[in-house]
């Protein structure tokens, strides 16, 4: 029975990883951009949700919306500031700039939200569902359903619509796409705003499982890296599979080996893969 | 300005030697010139230690063009080696320094070897992940300190042939920090002119030319990454003695952001750049501090703003102002 419970835990964890990693997958895969402030954006998304629920008194769904809008605006500001670096594809500088901005977000959030751990009330994280000896919460079901829906929607959007091909054209060659009358700057802005809103949504859904702190975000960012690289950079289906696989791996490793070293184990998995298949699992 | 075309006034070596000697002498007596207070000593010692820390990351960033986000690992290896070996086994500073160098070389060789085939941002991702994992290990493994770290590191002992140096006070550590900084600067200056340094720059600036000359970029990358590690490691080694405490906070992103900011602030590939950058940043944090969270905002903003508006750093800004009358 323990194994069945661990499978449930793995799917629960994995859908969370996949949900948080979605924005990064799109940003990296579709627009070839990187964002090292991802962990801090996750933290901020969780705290904006918390603020909207406890201080403003909004219901949970509205608070999620507020977090997505606030983070979207922050994404718009960040990307506008970085636009010159983005257009010249200066990835090295871009990496460092996002790292610096993440540090600013961390300091700013500590000033605004204080240094104490908080919990998100009013969510479904305490609505337990028991089947025999197995259990999970309605929040877990919500995360899984939203994640599957989002991955499906994003896959359809990028692969099957005209806008999707426009974004992919910009990723291939921003200069060339501008010759065809595409405004690459708007596309980059849109993708970055999506990344920030998606991580806000992920944070609002996943963060209620545990107390939140303004210093958190590192664990989420590492898991996101592992998901994105394992899944094959930019592969949407690969990221979903990698997220769920990583969740199962983490659940079993935590249950049967050593819960304190799960991040280290996930990282070892990543290293092993990089040595065997540098381009990720999804490539042929 | 690249290292290759940097001015080399070989015709007037005497003048150059005199200028360098004067600069070194002034540097050594700087704490006394600034009043000789313990604040002056501790601030300048911190600047020297952090500058050495930055030079390790600087080699990789400036000459390889890669962003290593894992240099906090080497920083912490230095700190933990010094703390464990001196507090538990009573070993002197030479042994702990040698252990630091050996462990850093081994860790860098491993990390460099597994990331050998990775491209630019994947390299950064993996080095960043390595730092987080190393933190997790240091935090959970009680044998090396665990979450509490190691308190009560004994004063630095460096027994030499005649004297028996012991650095118990901030004032005593300053000469060690200063010599370490000088050695680092000499090493970097030598590296810039070395075959490895110039080849690394060629691989970064003109990979096609490097390939046509039969250079293996992977070997160059690995070599530069490996030699950069002990530099940052030795800074962490001295930092442990300065603070007399080592803990998992050595992995904090503060040190990483500090390294990157100090490197880009003045301008890449300038010998004294990281030192001046470190001096400016530490002066702000120690003497003009606005409180922890505000200092974070200042440091992160400086890093982002410099790269967005003046990618060539303060030197580039100065040149631009000097050119437009």
CATH number at residue B202: 1.10.3470
Q: Evaluate whether B80 touches B135 at the Cβ level (below 8 Å).
A: no
The 10s digit of each residue's pLDDT in B48-82 is: 999 999 999 999 998 888 889 899 999 999 999 99
In B, which residues are within 8 Å of A99 by CB distance? 69, 253, 256-257, 260, 303
Q: Give the CA angle between residues A223, B253, B299 to the nearest 5°.
A: 130
Beta carbons of B118 and A278 less than 8 Å apart: yes
Rounded Cα distance between B131 and A60, Å, is: 35
pLDDT score of B2: 47
* pLDDT band at residue A284 under the 50/70/90 scheme: very low
The 10s digit of each residue's pLDDT in A46-90 is: 999 999 999 998 999 999 999 999 999 999 999 999 988 888 878
More confident residue, B156 or B191: B191
In A, which residues are within 8 Å of B309 by CB distance? none
Average pLDDT, chain B: 87
More confident residue, A259 or A204: A204
CA distance A254 to chain B (A): 14
Task: Provide φ and ψ at B160, rounded to 5°.
Answer: -110, 180
Q: Which domain holds residue B272?
A: 38-323
Smallest CA-to-CA distance from B240 within B82, B70, B36 is with B82
Q: Evaluate whether A229 touches A8 at the Cβ level (below 8 Å).
A: no
A116 touches chain B (CB under 8 A): no
| Closest residue on chain A to B292 (Cα) | A107
| Closest residue on chain A to B120 (Cα) | A92
The 10s digit of each residue's pLDDT in A240-254 is: 999 999 999 999 998
- A241 domain-assigned: no
Characterize B62-74 residue by residue with b for buried, 16 or more Cβ atoms within 10 angstroms of its Cβ, and e for exposed.
Answer: bbbbbbbbbbbbb
Measured CA distances, A165 to A29, A76, A228, A237 (Å): 13, 22, 21, 17
Facing B300 at nearest CB: one of A92, A101, A219 = A101
Rounded Cα distance between A112 and A48, Å, is: 10
Rounded Cα distance between B238 and B240, Å, is: 5
Q: How many CB atoms lie within 10 A of CB A21?
A: 31
In B, which residues are within 8 Å of A267 by CB distance? 129-130, 132-133
* pLDDT band at residue A281 under the 50/70/90 scheme: low
In B, which residues are within 8 Å of A90 by CB distance? 311
DSSP labels, A177-212: HHHTT--HHHHHHHHHHHHHHHHHHHHHHHGGGS-B
Facing A222 at nearest CB: one of B129, B295, B301 = B129
For B58, residues 6+ apart whose C-beta sits below 8 A from its C-beta are B188, B259, B263, B268, B273, B274
- A248 domain-assigned: no
Facing A81 at nearest CB: one of B124, B297, B308 = B308
Q: Enter the tokens of residue B91.
A: 């070993």
- B22 domain-assigned: no
- A235 domain-assigned: no
The 10s digit of each residue's pLDDT in B235-261 is: 999 999 998 899 999 998 899 999 999
What mean pLDDT do residues B224-236 have? 95
The 10s digit of each residue's pLDDT in B152-169 is: 888 888 887 666 666 666
For A87, residues 6+ apart whose C-beta sits below 8 A from its C-beta are A174, A184, A185, A188
Total domains present in chain A: 1
Handedness of CA B227, B229, B235, B240 (dihedral sign): negative
A276 touches chain B (CB under 8 A): no
pLDDT score of B82: 94
pLDDT score of B187: 95
The CA-based dihedral angle spanning residues A49, A50, A56, A60, taken in that order and rounded to the nearest 10 degrees: 60
- A7 domain-assigned: no
pLDDT score of A25: 87
- B252 domain-assigned: yes
More confident residue, A3 or A284: A3
Rounded Cα distance between B233 and B230, Å, is: 5
Tally helices (H) and strands (E) across chain B. 13, 4
Beta carbons of B304 and A110 less than 8 Å apart: no
What mean pLDDT do residues B78-94 have? 91
Q: Enter the tokens of residue A210.
A: 């545990």
Average pLDDT, chain A: 87
Facing B120 at nearest CB: one of A92, A97, A101 = A92
Q: Evaluate whether A66 touches A49 at the Cβ level (below 8 Å).
A: yes
| DSSP state, residue A131 | E
Q: Which domain holds residue A102?
A: 14-215
* pLDDT band at residue B325 under the 50/70/90 scheme: low
Beta carbons of B303 and A108 less than 8 Å apart: no
Rounded Cα distance between B158 and B252, Å, is: 29
Tokens 């102002």 correspond to what residue?
B321
pLDDT score of B1: 43
Smallest CA-to-CA distance from A46 within A34, A36, A32, A60 is with A60
- B294 domain-assigned: yes
| Closest residue on chain A to B256 (Cα) | A99
DSSP labels, A232-249: -TT-HHHHHHHHHHHHHH
For B19, residues 6+ apart whose C-beta sits below 8 A from its C-beta are none
Beta carbons of B132 and A218 less than 8 Å apart: yes
In B, which residues are within 8 Å of A105 by CB distance? 300
- A178 domain-assigned: yes
pLDDT at A13 over 50: yes
pLDDT score of A175: 82
- B180 domain-assigned: yes
The alpha carbon of residue B209 and the mean position of all alpha carbons in its chain are separated, in whole angstroms, by 30
B121 touches chain A (CB under 8 A): yes
Task: Provide φ and ψ at B271, rounded to 5°.
Answer: -55, -50
| Closest residue on chain B to A81 (Cα) | B308
Facing A271 at nearest CB: one of B114, B257, B292 = B114
Beta carbons of A95 and B67 less than 8 Å apart: yes
pLDDT score of B318: 85
Interface residue of B304, B305, B311, B316 to substitute, partner A, most A CBs within 10 Å:
B304
Beta carbons of B260 and A81 less than 8 Å apart: no
Q: Evaluate whether B300 touches A101 at the Cβ level (below 8 Å).
A: yes
Least trusted range by pLDDT, from A37-46, B87-96, B112-121, B279-288: B112-121
Q: Evaluate whether A200 touches A41 at the Cβ level (below 8 Å).
A: yes
Beta carbons of B117 and A108 less than 8 Å apart: no
A210: left (phi over 0), alpha (psi -120 to 50) or beta: beta
Partners of residue B241 on adjacent β-strands: none
Total domains present in chain B: 1
Facing A103 at nearest CB: one of B296, B308, B311 = B296
What's the 3-state SS for A248-277? HHHHHHHHHCCHHHHHHHHHHHHHHHHHHC
First to last CA, chain A: 37
What mean pLDDT do residues B23-29 have? 87
- B26 domain-assigned: no
The 10s digit of each residue's pLDDT in A206-228 is: 988 888 988 888 778 888 888 88
pLDDT at B40 over 50: yes
Facing B136 at nearest CB: one of A92, A229, A261 = A261
Least trusted range by pLDDT, from A146-150, A177-181, B5-9, B50-54: B5-9
A112 touches chain B (CB under 8 A): no
A85 touches chain B (CB under 8 A): yes
What mean pLDDT do residues A121-130 have? 77
Least trusted range by pLDDT, from A214-228, A269-283, B42-56, B182-196: A269-283
Query: Exposed, middle or buried by CB within 10 Å (0-12, 13-18, 19+), for A248?
Result: middle
Q: Enter the tokens of residue B192.
A: 């810039």
- B18 domain-assigned: no
What mean pLDDT do residues B211-224 have? 89
Pairing of strands B156-159, B150-151: unpaired
Rg of chain B on CA atoms, in Å: 20
What mean pLDDT do residues A85-110 have? 89
* pLDDT band at residue A121 under the 50/70/90 scheme: confident
């Amino acid at each position: 029975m323990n194994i069945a419970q661990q499978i449930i835990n793995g799917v629960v964890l994995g859908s969370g990883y996949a949900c948080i990693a979605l924005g990064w997958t799109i940003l990296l895969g579709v627009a070839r951009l990187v964002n090292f402030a991802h962990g801090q954006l996750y933290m901020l998304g969780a705290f904006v949700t918390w603020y909207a629920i406890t201080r403003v008194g909004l219901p949970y769904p509205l608070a999620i919306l507020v977090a997505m809008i606030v983070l979207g605006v922050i994404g718009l500001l960040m990307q506008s500031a970085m636009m010159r670096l983005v257009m010249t594809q200066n990835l090295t500088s871009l990496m460092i700039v996002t790292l610096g901005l993440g540090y600013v977000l961390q300091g700013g959030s500590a000033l605004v939200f204080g240094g104490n751990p908080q919990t998100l009330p009013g969510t479904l994280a305490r609505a337990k569902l028991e089947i025999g000896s197995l259990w999970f919460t309605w929040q877990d079901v919500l995360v899984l359903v939203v994640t599957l829906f989002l991955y499906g929607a994003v896959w359809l959007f990028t692969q099957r619509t005209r806008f999707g091909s426009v974004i992919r054209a910009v990723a291939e060659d921003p200069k060339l796409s501008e010759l065809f009358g595409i405004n690459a700057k708007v596309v980059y802005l849109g993708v970055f705003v999506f990344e920030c809103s998606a991580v806000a949504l992920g944070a609002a859904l996943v963060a209620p499982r545990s107390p939140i702190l303004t210093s958190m975000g590192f664990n989420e960012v590492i898991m996101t890296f592992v998901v994105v690289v394992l899944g094959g950079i930019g592969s949407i289906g690969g990221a979903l599979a990698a997220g769920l696989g990583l969740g199962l791996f983490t659940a079993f490793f935590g249950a049967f080996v050593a819960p304190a070293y799960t991040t280290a184990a996930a990282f070892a998995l990543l290293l092993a893969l990089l040595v065997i298949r540098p381009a990720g699992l999804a490539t042929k | 300005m690249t290292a290759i075309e940097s001015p080399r006034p070989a015709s007037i070596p005497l003048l150059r030697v005199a200028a360098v000697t004067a600069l070194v002498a002034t540097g050594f007596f700087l704490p006394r010139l600034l009043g000789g207070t313990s604040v002056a000593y501790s601030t300048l010692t911190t600047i020297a230690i952090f500058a050495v820390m930055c030079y390790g990351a600087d080699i990789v960033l400036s000459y390889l063009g890669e962003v290593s986000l894992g240099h906090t690992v080497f920083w912490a290896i230095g700190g933990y080696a010094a703390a464990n070996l001196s507090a538990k086994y009573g070993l002197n500073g030479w042994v702990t320094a040698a252990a630091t160098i050996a462990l850093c070389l081994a860790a860098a060789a491993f990390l460099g070897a597994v990331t050998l085939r990775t491209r630019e941002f994947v390299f950064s991702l993996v080095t960043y992940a390595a730092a987080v994992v190393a933190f997790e290990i240091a935090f959970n493994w009680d044998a090396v300190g665990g979450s509490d770290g190691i308190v009560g590191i004994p004063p630095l002992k460096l027994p030499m042939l005649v004297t028996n140096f012991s650095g118990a006070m901030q004032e005593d550590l300053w000469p060690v920090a200063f010599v370490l900084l000088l050695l680092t600067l000499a090493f970097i200056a030598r590296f810039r002119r070395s075959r490895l340094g110039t080849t690394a720059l060629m691989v970064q600036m003109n990979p096609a030319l490097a390939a046509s000359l039969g250079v293996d970029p992977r070997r160059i990358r690995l070599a530069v990454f490996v030699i950069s590690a002990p530099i940052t490691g030795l800074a962490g080694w001295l930092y442990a003695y300065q603070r007399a405490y080592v803990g998992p906070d050595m992995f904090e992103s503060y040190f990483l952001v500090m390294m990157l900011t100090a490197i880009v602030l003045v301008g890449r590939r300038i010998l004294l750049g990281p030192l001046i950058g470190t001096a400016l940043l530490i002066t702000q944090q120690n003497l003009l501090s606005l409180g922890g969270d505000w200092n974070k905002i200042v440091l992160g903003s400086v890093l982002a703003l410099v790269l967005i508006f003046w990618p060539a750093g303060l030197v580039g800004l100065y040149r631009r102002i000097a050119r437009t009358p």
